[in-house]
Every structure is written in structure tokens, then in C-alpha cells.
């Protein structure tokens, strides 16, 4: 009998579903806990908790997912998290009450809004030192254009609410757009053609044309819209609406709402996976994160710390020792946006889109000016290093190849 039980147990063990391999990680800032929860997005559970500076407020992640920056609203510092070990490895003093933070597309510069000192500071990410500042009254959030030339800052100075436009090459405020209500969040669309922003007491999202500084449309929402964004590889724009506790999806072409999905209590922020299929919504009032399947509207809940606010998600980087890899060009984006191979390997780009594209490499390597739908292009990479590239037809489309030594 004992032998029979052992055999049955062994067989059952073989048919048990294996735990999924760890996936990309999401990082959630818990405002009242002074921690960051690390979520394994594949298994949908918290796998680590990182102590950070008081009042974690803003978050930004490098394109390779290796580094996370967190601002401490109750302090004067920015914490730097190494995602390989999930620990704070450096703290930078930037000034009292840092709020929003954003990285330039090349990841070389970090912009930080320092609310209590009425300025936006510039941090060199290589040296991790402050390299300059510009005066902006009560700056709250900051968003950088995909070409890295400009940044909009939401200004919350009482009776002087505005959007301030910073020219990044000259590091100066070139103009301000006066507003009648307090701006909350503001974000560029992934292609830089539109700037969306929300305002306190206004049940709609404002759609701004950055070329003219004119509001060209409004997107109706429920009470208290907060975060708004249109991420790459997603067919939807999305709005976190705090009053009804929902994620509102909209059509970026028509600026019309298309669907509302119930999430947790007092949702605050959202971040979308690299493939554009899944969005993670932080719920400050219910201490959890709602995982939303954008295609079906199905949701799942992951408990985190106390009062989660900001969230960032690692890209779906394909790290492997394979000698060849593939990138799909679809929906005006490179998927994956970052890929890693061993030296001596090659990458093949396939145009799976309905429009022509091209490849232009920053290192001067030979690319292609025109890649028609259905066509492909390959390049061999013999030397270790990081190779950035863009679409020669649509420069806002960018990607990266990381080549490791054999």
C-alpha cells in the first residue's frame, strides 16, 4: 500500500502545473508605508518590499528596466533602486519636497520638480549629480516629449495655475499657458503629437496640441480624473478616474470614451506593459493594484502596501544567449522595444505594419530607408555594447539592441 501511495504521489506531482517563470517586474510606491512593493507580473504577487524615503511620490524607470528613481515628497531626496538586487543603491539630495520626475528618452537626464523650492532640477544619471535648475512656481508633475526637446510642467501656484514649457537644450522656460483650474497630471502621447492633462474639479481630460499650445478637444470622464496617458503598442488611451473608481479607455483618434472598467478605491496612477496589453492601476484607497486586460476588460487584484500611488513596469526585455532574435514593427512601434543578444548574433526586423518604415542606427551602422509592409531587414552585431535606433520615416519610433559578450 505504501508503495502504491508513493507511485500515485509521484504521478500527481508530474501533472501539477508548474509555477510560471518570473516575469517582468512592476514597482509600486506606497505613500504611507515609505516603501516600494516589487511585483512579479507573471505570477502576480509581491516578491520584495524596498524601504525608501518618506512619502514616495514620483517614479521613473530607465528603458532597460535596470534602474528605478523614486522621489520622497516628505524629504529632499531621490532614491535610486537597482532592479537586479531590488535595493536602494544611491540617494541624491535635490531640494525640499520633490514631486514628479521624468527621464529623457536617452536616459541621460532626470528632471525633478521640487515643489517647496519652486524649481525643476536636472540630474545627470551617469554621475548622479545635479547639473542645473530652472525656476518654476510650485511645480507638480513633468512630462518630456518623445524627441527629448521639450517638457511640460504642471504649475500649482495658487491663483496662477499654468503649464510651463521647458526647452531642454537651453534648460529654460520658454512660455507658460495660463489655466483657470489646478492642473493635476499631464502626459505626452507616445508619439508626441498630443499632450493630455487633467484638472481638479473638471470632469474631463484636456487635449492640447503642443505645436500651438491650444486645447483642441476634451474627453468626458467621471468625477476627479487623475492620471491620463496613451502608451505605445496600445490601441487605447486611458484615464484613471478617482470618483467612480475606474479606468476609462478612449479612442485617441476621436477623443471619445470607449469603455470603463471598475478598479479599486481611489485609483491614482497607471502603467502599461511593454506589449500594450495589460495595465496596472494603483488604488490608494484599497491598498492594492488592479491588473487590467485591455482587450477583454478582465481584472485581477494584487495587495500591496499602504496608499499605493505611482507605478512603473519593466519592459519585456528578451535577454538570451541566442545568436538571432526578431523584432516586429507593428502599430507604429518596435516590439520588443529593447532586445538583447550575444556578440556575433543578428537581429531581424519584420514590418508587420500597414505603413512603410525604415531603420536608422545611432552608431552609424548601415540601415534601410524604406522597409515596405511584409519586408524584413537583418543586421549582425559583432561587438558588445548598446545600439540605439529609430525609424527613419517616423523618428518618434525608437528601439535598442543590447549586445553582450559571449
The model's pLDDT over 354-403, given as tens digits with 9 standing for 90+, comes to 999 999 999 988 998 889 999 999 999 888 888 999 999 999 999 988 88
- Indicate whether 406 pLDDT > 70: no
- Indicate whether 98 pLDDT > 50: yes
Q: What is the pLDDT of residue 20?
A: 40
CATH class of this structure's domain 324-404:
mainly beta
SS3 406: coil
Q: Collect all residues with Cβ–Cβ distance below 8 Å to 107 and sequence separation of at least 6.
A: 62, 63, 125
Q: What is the pLDDT of residue 17?
A: 36
Q: What is the pLDDT of residue 319?
A: 42
Q: Could you tell me the residue ranges of all domains in the chain?
A: 25-313, 324-404
| Mean pLDDT, residues 262-273 | 97
Query: At 157, is the pLDDT very low, low, confident or very high (cuts 50, 70, 90)?
Result: very high
Residue 104 pairs in a beta bridge with none
Whether 25-313 shares its CATH topology with 324-404 is answered no
**Cα gap 227→238, rounded to integer Å:** 8
Q: Which residue has the higher pLDDT, 8 or 292?
A: 292
Percent of the chain clearing pLDDT 70 (strictly above): 92
**Cα gap 219→241, rounded to integer Å:** 12
- Cell numbers standing for residue 136: 518654476
Q: What is the pLDDT of residue 6?
A: 43
Which secondary structure element, helix H or strand E, spans residue 281, and what is its range? strand 278-283
Domain 25-313 matching CATH 2.130.10.10: the answer reads yes
- Indicate whether 305 pLDDT > 70: yes
- Tell which residue, 17, 55, 11, has the closest CA to residue 309: 55
| Mean pLDDT, residues 333-350 | 87
Q: What is the 3-state secondary structure (H, E, C) of 116-131?
A: HHCEEEEEECCCCEEE
**Cα gap 357→133, rounded to integer Å:** 38
Q: What is the pLDDT of residue 10?
A: 39
Q: Collect all residues with Cβ–Cβ distance below 8 Å to 154 and sequence separation of at least 6.
A: 100, 139, 140, 141, 142, 163, 183, 184, 185, 186, 197
SS3 395: coil
| Mean pLDDT, residues 163-192 | 96
Pair 404, 378: CB distance under 8 Å: no
**Cα gap 52→71, rounded to integer Å:** 9
Over residues 17-36, the pLDDT tens digits come to: 333 445 689 999 999 999 99
Amino acid at each position: 500500500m505504501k508503495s502504491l501511495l508513493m507511485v500515485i504521489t509521484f504521478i500527481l506531482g508530474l501533472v501539477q502545473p508548474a509555477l510560471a517563470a518570473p516575469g517582468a517586474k512592476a514597482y509600486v510606491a506606497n505613500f504611507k508605508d515609505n516603501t516600494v512593493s516589487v511585483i512579479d507580473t507573471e505570477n502576480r504577487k509581491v516578491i520584495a518590499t524596498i524601504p525608501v524615503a518618506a512619502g514616495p511620490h514620483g517614479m521613473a524607470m530607465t528603458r532597460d528596466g535596470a534602474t528605478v528613481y523614486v522621489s520622497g515628497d516628505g524629504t529632499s531626496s531621490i532614491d535610486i533602486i537597482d532592479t537586479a538586487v531590488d535595493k536602494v543603491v544611491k540617494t541624491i539630495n535635490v531640494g525640499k519636497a520633490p514631486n514628479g520626475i521624468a527621464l529623457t528618452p536617452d536616459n541621460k537626464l532626470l528632471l525633478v520638480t521640487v515643489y517647496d523650492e519652486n524649481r525643476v532640477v536636472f540630474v545627470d544619471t551617469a554621475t548622479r549629480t545635479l547639473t542645473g535648475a530652472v525656476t518654476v512656481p510650485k511645480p507638480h508633475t513633468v512630462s518630456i516629449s518623445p524627441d527629448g526637446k521639450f517638457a511640460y510642467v504642471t504649475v500649482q501656484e495658487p491663483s496662477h495655475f499654468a503649464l510651463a514649457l521647458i526647452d531642454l537644450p537651453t534648460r529654460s522656460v520658454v512660455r507658460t499657458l495660463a489655466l483657470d483650474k489646478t492642473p493635476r497630471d499631464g502626459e505626452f502621447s507616445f508619439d508626441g503629437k498630443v499632450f493630455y492633462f487633467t484638472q481638479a474639479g473638471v470632469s474631463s481630460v484636456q487635449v492640447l496640441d503642443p505645436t500651438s499650445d491650444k486645447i483642441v478637444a476634451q474627453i468626458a470622464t467621471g468625477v476627479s480624473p487623475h492620471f491620463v496617458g496613451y502608451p505605445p503598442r496600445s490601441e487605447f488611451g486611458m484615464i484613471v478616474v478617482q470618483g467612480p473608481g475606474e479606468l476609462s479607455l478612449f479612442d485617441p483618434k476621436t477623443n471619445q470614451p470607449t469603455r470603463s472598467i471598475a478598479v479599486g478605491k481611489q485609483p491614482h496612477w497607471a502603467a502599461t506593459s511593454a506589449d500594450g496589453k495589460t495595465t496596472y492601476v494603483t488604488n490608494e484607497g484599497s491598498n492594492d493594484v488592479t491588473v487590467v486586460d485591455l482587450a477583454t476588460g478582465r481584472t485581477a487584484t494584487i495587495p500591496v502596501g499602504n496608499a499605493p500611488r505611482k507605478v512603473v513596469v519593466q519592459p519585456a526585455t528578451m535577454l538570451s544567449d541566442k545568436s538571432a532574435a526578431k523584432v516586429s514593427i507593428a502599430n507604429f512601434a518596435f516590439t520588443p522595444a529593447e532586445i538583447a543578444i550575444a556578440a556575433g548574433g543578428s537581429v531581424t526586423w519584420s514590418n508587420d505594419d500597414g505603413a512603410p518604415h525604415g531603420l536608422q542606427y545611432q552608431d552609424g551602422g548601415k540601415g534601410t530607408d524604406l522597409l515596405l509592409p511584409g519586408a524584413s531587414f537583418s543586421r549582425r552585431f559583432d561587438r558588445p555594447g548598446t545600439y540605439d535606433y529609430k525609424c527613419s520615416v517616423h523618428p518618434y519610433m525608437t528601439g535598442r539592441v543590447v549586445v553582450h559578450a559571449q
